[in-house]
A and B are shown apart, each in its own frame.
Chain A
């Protein structure tokens, strides 16, 4: 039986972690719970449920900052930002449905601790780049903070970067501050149909190497495009390569036209406006295409964008995986059979280009059998482990989750 502790304040978290240290009782740290299936399965008897620590504490649109309790629902944050035409520029995906859970449940702290990033990663950065400050409790049962509530936030080591992507293994955050940015007034997406992976990569590179400030570049092979809810993407029955621009109206129109000319060299182009554009990019962001088959393993492979075209044909042939690319080819999403052979093959591909592959979703057995995060060279792995020990020497916070 697992027991759930529900702190209502920072001091409650402090009590809970101190108790866990004293009793050697490891905790699973949970906020919205949407990403519990991501990482090594945990075997703790106690859950630290942060969901009561919610609420926006400070939002100053002109200073471009927002401060909130760590488990504030992301939807609440996004709604508040939308009131001032602002957004979290890293475009955090909602993986709820990918894990068979409802959409709209994730929290701001969870998005940061998983270092989420959507299609705008290539232009605006990931959660790490927008994480300005926090207050938290280390696995030692001590309060610590880092960063600040100003944009040039760091004095001393940038612990926000370390926390981003640490999946709750270094500290439990009670309050976080993020940088927020104006949302583009207008969005247009240029589509090119029927390209194979390789010319698609070249087309995306041409767009990204232009001065048009592209804020999204994705390629959906025919089988994936067929699942899109957007008619312009689904109906041609071919692959679709999509390039997004955002910003003030006149600028977007100009850049969209210029990109259609540029990409015209690869084939006929089409353009999506506001609503269709938003629908397409949220599918790409949330990996909606892989939500339908919950038994398959979902992998996220980060590679140098120009490298993917080289390893993809072999990888797809050997594993039979479905795939699509975001980040101009630098992020490949794969849906593969949930077995170790496919896992090994995907890891080899990631290693071959110096990138890394993460098993985002998979059955417990697979996650127990293979490393969820790309194994690192020995000195880096040892360094990471020494760092983890400095924050959580007794292994009470999500122990082994990233192991």
Chain B
């Protein structure tokens, strides 16, 4: 069972007074305290966990964001930032005694600057809207999460989101140049800008992926790229996932970094095909989609090489897209894999973990054993290039105990990722979902050092507490140094 920090009774008792104070900062409809109005904010994409927030605040200006935070800091009130609420790890799960700070109204693109190849946008702008704003000029924003129609750039920054193209183009962290951020005490800071790299410590790099625990992002400067001349894809079927995995290794080992390499296993292929009729072969155990981009001369050359490598590993079916429609059709099944699985099962639980790619066959075998053990089916889509697994566990929440079994199954998969040398997350963050598994990967000292980072930004731990870290330590306690004069001998090392 997930436990969240104990609600502060004192804060709950002052609810009316707090709502009035917030209304003085954000006028009109921007403060929602009635139950119906708060209901849509009770969960994010991890719908198994729900909690009505004490109050929802939807500011419209940066000054309001700062003032809300300053007030909350002064009054000891917890704050949970929220973008579009598509997080799959419960990062935006509200707190009973907390303000839910929604950034949806910050939806303007402020500056498109081709001379510096960047755009400055507000945090509530959707990922896709950035590309849409610049594509008529041949540019795009590279990270492309499947949720890109809905998710916000602020959420992307918080989760360090990825997409099918991050093997070649990087994750959010590699594509963000700067942020403006409000700290919990209401101070506004700028990290980075239109230039590269930091003057001192890379606080921008630290902020990206910090899951809303360090500050509220109020503006983002993203890198724009010129769209490639040509994009073509190969759809390749294999008699085993081991052969598919070996092909990925062979492609990368031969010096090719495709724009994307995605893998699907048999259950995922079948679910996708039934849903979108993409024409996927159904007699294969694994399917690879390999996309190549660049000048036509390069793409043609590499397609030939990938084709040869796949044949060498025993591919049974190879199709190469000849038109843009065909390329899009190859992707249709993969891009709709989640909803496709949603059709064949009342509920599904989307996992996210990363493994060294070479361990894939073994990990899939173990996952199948677990599937039998828990009596739950699992379908796999996989960012094969970088080892990021997305097992989808199929369950029925109306059957007593299935959700719990699905969660246990999921936890076992993540432990397996760590066991084979991978990590607990890929691109969905820790949130509340994997919070209690952090000890599988990190020692107590590792976690304490991470929490000390939080102390430098938010010493009262009011911003999004209860996420990422299994145990909250007070900053004063974390600050103590456990070494005392005279306790250690002079180190027995070679000296000169």
Q: A interface vs B, CB < 8 Å?
A: 3-8, 12, 15-16, 18-19, 21-24, 49, 52, 60-65, 84-86, 115, 117, 121-122, 125-126, 128-129, 138, 140-146, 148-162, 164-166, 170, 181-183, 185, 205, 208-213, 247-251, 253-255, 258, 302-307, 327, 330-331, 353-356, 358, 373-374, 376-377, 379-381, 383-384, 386-391, 393-394, 402
Contact = CB atoms under 8 A, between A and B. Distances in A.
Contact of A250 (B183, B198, B298, B446): B298
Contact of B387 (A115, A121, A141, A150): A150
B226 A306 contact: no
A153 B425 CA distance: 8
A151 B386 contact: yes
Given A156-B468, A157-B453, A162-B202, A151 B387 contact: yes
A30 B189 CA distance: 33
Interface string B109-121: 0000111110000
Contacts of A64: 252
Given A154-B425, A211-B229, A356 B199 contact: yes
4 tightest Cβ-Cβ pairs between the two chains A and B: A161-B205, A251-B298, A356-B199, A304-B194
Interface stretch (B37-45, B282-290, B353-361): B353-361
Contact of B195 (A208, A249, A304, A390): A304
Given A355-B193, A376-B199, A391-B449, A152 B425 contact: yes
A8 B261 CA distance: 41
Contact of B173 (A18, A161, A255, A327): A161
Contact of B456 (A15, A60, A209, A383): A383
- The winner among B188, B191, B226, B249 for most chain A CB atoms within 10 A is B226
A210 B434 CA distance: 42
B455 A19 contact: no
Contact of B206 (A161, A374, A376, A379): A161
A390 B295 contact: no
A248 B190 contact: no
A258 B203 CA distance: 39
Given A84-B253, A152-B423, A254-B298, 10 more contacts: A19-B490, A63-B356, A141-B482, A145-B443, A157-B209, A159-B453, A165-B202, A182-B255, A354-B194, A391-B452
A152 B481 contact: no
B380 interface: no
B302 interface: yes
B423 A150 contact: yes
A156 B488 contact: no
Given A140-B481, A390-B456, A158 B183 contact: no
Interface residues of B, number: 108
Contact of A125 (B170, B200, B422): B170
Given A181-B257, A302-B195, A394-B481, A16 B189 contact: no
Interface of B: 113-117, 138, 160, 162, 167, 170-171, 173-174, 183, 187-191, 193-206, 208-210, 226-229, 249-250, 252-253, 255-257, 294-295, 297-298, 300-302, 354-358, 383, 385-388, 421-427, 430, 434, 438, 441-443, 445-450, 452-453, 455-457, 468-469, 478-479, 481-496
Contacts of B468: 156
Contacts of B295: 211-212, 251, 254-255, 258
A166 B355 CA distance: 29
A6 B117 contact: no
Nearest to A162: B206
Given A16-B493, A146-B446, A182 B298 contact: no
B355 to A, nearest CB: 7
A21 B483 contact: yes
A166 B298 CA distance: 39
A157 B202 CA distance: 12
Given A146-B446, A247-B294, A251-B294, A140 B483 contact: yes
B457 to A, nearest CB: 7
Contact of B421 (A4, A121, A150, A390): A150
12 contacts: A15-B492, A19-B489, A62-B252, A63-B249, A85-B255, A159-B206, A166-B201, A250-B298, A327-B196, A380-B203, A388-B201, A391-B452
